[in-house]
Chains A and B, each alone.
Chain A
Amino acid sequence: MPEIYSKYPMVKYLRKEALPTALCPGCGGGTVLNAFANAVDQLKLDPRDLVVVSGIGCSAWIASPYFLADTLHTTHGRAIAFATGVKVGLPDKKVVVISGDGDLASIGGNHLLHAARRNIDITVILVNNFIYGMTGGQVAPTTPFGAKTTTTPYRNIEHPLQISETIAAAGASYVARWTTAHVYQLIESIKKALTVKGFSLVEVISQCPVQFGRRNRMKEPAEMLRWFLKNSVPISKAKKMSPEELEGKFVIGEFVNRQRPEFTEELNKLIDEVQEHFGLKGGDDV
């Protein structure tokens, strides 16, 4: 572990032999890792009670292998489905998925949708950097209309998926969106997401200066953060704006925070009912 980390209070949550991280300088991934570690710290969670699952991509590397917990680094897009099995097996642990927008909302979009519908108690931190970072900056389903990428060298003619809005509609218990320029709010939302019973999604708009910023006149990470700040609109204000006015804006804040029956609880309740019904309880007949 490089010396500089010894000054970082959250290093106690990191796998020292895996440091330094492979993320580019100025990547928003570091901010997300820091926010997550701070949320865990503030909640005084024991990392032994956490299982962190991720898919494939730069954002999937944020916590896996760097976060010191049981970590499952899966195939591209499938982290939530893997996490579903982990959560059913360990209903008392906190199961967290940290991965990218391409991973979770494109190839893995169906698992995201259905986990929200089931309302399984998993916390998803979705890092939305508008791009396929790891594979070299190709267009993603989150890339803004008109943006340049390596596979939209002229301009992007597709419209981005509004992930938080979609997952709120699909039935999640908790959904919030922030950017890497809103670190304190982000930590608060991750804390809530970790505490709430049911499916929770925290979408983090994050900078990829190397693959996105560079091709869209924002070479410096700071320029990207300024872009986030300038175009962020709190959800309360956004409600009064027209779709045209919201074009190119980032709606931030909490989308839902509600109670709905949770999947693993229902599953265990069902088993209880069935065993009761068939007279299978009790150990007197061995």
Chain B
Amino acid sequence: MIIRGDEPEQIRLLRKLYKPGNYFMQGNEAVAYGALFAGCRFYAGYPITPSSEIAETMARELPKLGGYYLQMEDEIGSIAAMIGASWTGFKVMTATAGPGFSLMQENLGYAVMTETPLVLVDVQRSGPSTGQATKGAQGDFFQARWGTHGDHPIVAVSPTSGQDAFWEIIRAFNIAERLRTPVVFLFDGVLAHTRELVKIPSVDEVEITYRKLPQNEEEAKLPFGDPHGDGVPPMPLFGHGYFTHVTGSTHKENGLRDVYTPEVHDRLVRRIHRKIEKNRHVYEKYEEHFTDDAEILVVSWGVTARPALGAVLKAREEGIKVGLFVPKTVHPFPGERMRELGKRVRAILVPEMNLGQMILEVQRYVNDDVLLKGVNKIGGVPLTVEEILREIRGVA
């Protein structure tokens, strides 16, 4: 696996297997290939529509790269096995959809608390419950943020196309490794099953990051300390004779449980928050179109950002001064930039395939005198350019 110093061999295999060029592929396949380029060599999952092609691609490709595919007995076991493998040094991933994402929440919290890097792909589908199993949606925005219990930070990334998914999953792995944290990848059933052009780059164009490892015995003794002041402790992997102790219960810097001292809990949980807050530069990302002179702003994410861009382009042709803001890292939300943009416009529209989720984040950063309106659609059919354009005209 790449992390253990067999980069030359892995690069040779990637070169030999995946020729750079344009391919016609499903969003799900783009996610899988991106993960392979990012260095993911362990996948544990459980089949669920509309995510299964990710598992199928990984099951086919991983062995070629010397990597491991495991089909576990359920989603709870899948994320558990990933965490176990991550502590042995693997870059790990799973893919699921709403019902499976719900089952993974307890161990997602465990990964936050034990600072275990992993990437969890949630191919959002129409819910609640089994809902419309084959249809896309954007209803898990807050489940990604608050699905697991207790005070916890989370990083979530959401791409807007197959091509974007290829690069964004690599970015998700890099964030997970760099900050020793789980990253949720909010994909959706529409993009997952859309076939479109995806350019596979040469291996040399891909930059990948590795987690920090302890540089000496002292660092290895404090798997949950902060020796570098950036909130990110080096990770003393299993199998190296460090005698690392890992627990989801409140623990001291040395890993040993202490659930009775209030300061220990406070120190640990605040550091885990600070690690994410202080390292915004590692993960913050958004796209802007025509925001310089915009009087109306469309804020959208994931699959809906595409018809949103189409609508903005058409409205501009009609002379409407409208711009588009697309958070690519949706959690933590790019609030500062949202605040700046919010001060310049008189109306904000938030199109999404749900009954209003990201709009609540937007609301936190804009003043009451700005007209804020959701453009919401559920039922499994994506919003169209026309539907969003109509709303833009309505506030123009």
Asked if B90 is an interface residue, CB under 8 A from chain A, the answer is: yes
Name A63-120 residues within 8 Å CB distance of B. 64-65, 68-75, 78, 81-90, 93, 110-111, 113-114
Q: Which residues of the other chain, B, contact A73 by a CB distance below 8 angstroms?
A: 245-249, 257
Residue from B78, B80, B257 within 8 A of A65 (CB atoms): B257
A72, B87: Cβ atoms closer than 8 Å: yes
Q: Which residues of the other chain, A, contact B255 by a CB distance below 8 angstroms?
A: 65
Asked if A43 is an interface residue, CB under 8 A from chain B, the answer is: no
Asked if A2 is an interface residue, CB under 8 A from chain B, the answer is: no
B16, A285: Cβ atoms closer than 8 Å: yes
B245, A75: Cβ atoms closer than 8 Å: no
B68, A88: Cβ atoms closer than 8 Å: yes
Q: Which residues of the other chain, B, contact A86 by a CB distance below 8 angstroms?
A: 84-85, 87-88, 238
Q: Which residues of the other chain, B, contact A24 by a CB distance below 8 angstroms?
A: none
Q: Provide the bound-state CA to CA distance between A244 and B88, in Å.
A: 49
If A89-B88, A114-B73 touch, does A64 touch B245 (CB 8 Å cutoff)?
yes
Least CB distance, B316 to chain A, in whole angstroms: 49
Residue from A15, A69, A85 within 8 A of B82 (CB atoms): A85
Asked if A278 is an interface residue, CB under 8 A from chain B, the answer is: yes
Residue on B nearest A274 in the bound complex, by CB:
B63
A65, B63: Cβ atoms closer than 8 Å: no
A17, B84: Cβ atoms closer than 8 Å: no
Can you list, as one digit per residue, whether each of B237-249 has a CB less than 8 Å from chain A (1) or not (0)? 0110111111111
Q: Provide the bound-state CA to CA distance between A72 and B243, in Å.
A: 10
A48, B241: Cβ atoms closer than 8 Å: yes
Binds A, one of B6-14, B123-131, B378-386: B6-14
Residue on B nearest A279 in the bound complex, by CB:
B16
A84, B256: Cβ atoms closer than 8 Å: no
A15, B245: Cβ atoms closer than 8 Å: yes
A70, B81: Cβ atoms closer than 8 Å: no
If A17-B256, A81-B72, A267-B68 touch, does A71 touch B245 (CB 8 Å cutoff)?
yes
Asked if A4 is an interface residue, CB under 8 A from chain B, the answer is: no
Q: Provide the bound-state CA to CA distance between A81 and B107, in Å.
A: 11
Interface of B is mostly: mixed
Asked if B83 is an interface residue, CB under 8 A from chain A, the answer is: yes
Q: Provide the bound-state CA to CA distance between A80 and B216, in Å.
A: 31
Asked if B226 is an interface residue, CB under 8 A from chain A, the answer is: no
Q: Provide the bound-state CA to CA distance between A74 and B67, in Å.
A: 24
Residue on A nearest B74 in the bound complex, by CB:
A110
Q: Which residues of the other chain, A, contact B76 by a CB distance below 8 angstroms?
A: 78, 81
A70, B83: Cβ atoms closer than 8 Å: no
Least CB distance, B345 to chain A, in whole angstroms: 45
Asked if A47 is an interface residue, CB under 8 A from chain B, the answer is: yes
A78, B107: Cβ atoms closer than 8 Å: yes
Q: Which residues of the other chain, A, contact B17 by a CB distance below 8 angstroms?
A: 278, 280
B247, A89: Cβ atoms closer than 8 Å: no
A85, B13: Cβ atoms closer than 8 Å: no
Q: Provide the bound-state CA to CA distance between A80 and B254, in Å.
A: 24
Least CB distance, A99 to chain B, in whole angstroms: 13
B80, A78: Cβ atoms closer than 8 Å: yes
B245, A82: Cβ atoms closer than 8 Å: no
If A71-B245, A73-B249, A278-B64 touch, does A90 touch B80 (CB 8 Å cutoff)?
no
Asked if B283 is an interface residue, CB under 8 A from chain A, the answer is: no
Q: Which residues of the other chain, B, contact A65 by a CB distance below 8 angstroms?
A: 245, 247, 255-257
Least CB distance, B15 to chain A, in whole angstroms: 8
If A17-B256, A88-B85, A285-B16 touch, does A82 touch B80 (CB 8 Å cutoff)?
yes
Asked if B77 is an interface residue, CB under 8 A from chain A, the answer is: yes
If A65-B256, A69-B243 touch, does A280 touch B80 (CB 8 Å cutoff)?
no
A75, B106: Cβ atoms closer than 8 Å: yes
A81, B77: Cβ atoms closer than 8 Å: yes
If A84-B77, A275-B64 touch, does A90 touch B88 (CB 8 Å cutoff)?
yes
Least CB distance, B296 to chain A, in whole angstroms: 47
A271, B74: Cβ atoms closer than 8 Å: no
A271, B63: Cβ atoms closer than 8 Å: yes
Residue from A64, A84, A267, A278 within 8 A of B84 (CB atoms): A84
B8, A111: Cβ atoms closer than 8 Å: no
Least CB distance, A94 to chain B, in whole angstroms: 11
If A72-B87, A74-B110, A280-B64 touch, does A89 touch B42 (CB 8 Å cutoff)?
yes
B12, A70: Cβ atoms closer than 8 Å: no
B89, A275: Cβ atoms closer than 8 Å: no
Residue from B70, B74, B87, B89 within 8 A of A84 (CB atoms): B70
Q: Shortest 10 CB-CB distances between A and B: which pairs? A: A89-B88, A85-B84, A81-B80, A85-B81, A85-B85, A81-B77, A73-B247, A48-B241, A274-B63, A86-B84
A-B contact pairs, 30 of them (CB 8 A): A17-B256, A48-B241, A53-B84, A65-B257, A72-B87, A72-B238, A73-B245, A73-B247, A73-B257, A74-B83, A75-B107, A78-B107, A82-B83, A83-B84, A84-B72, A84-B80, A85-B42, A85-B84, A85-B85, A85-B88, A87-B84, A89-B85, A89-B87, A89-B239, A90-B239, A93-B239, A111-B73, A267-B68, A270-B63, A286-B11
A-B contact sample (8 more), CB < 8 A, given A84-B84, A113-B73: A17-B254, A71-B245, A74-B110, A85-B92, A114-B77, A267-B68, A283-B8, A285-B12
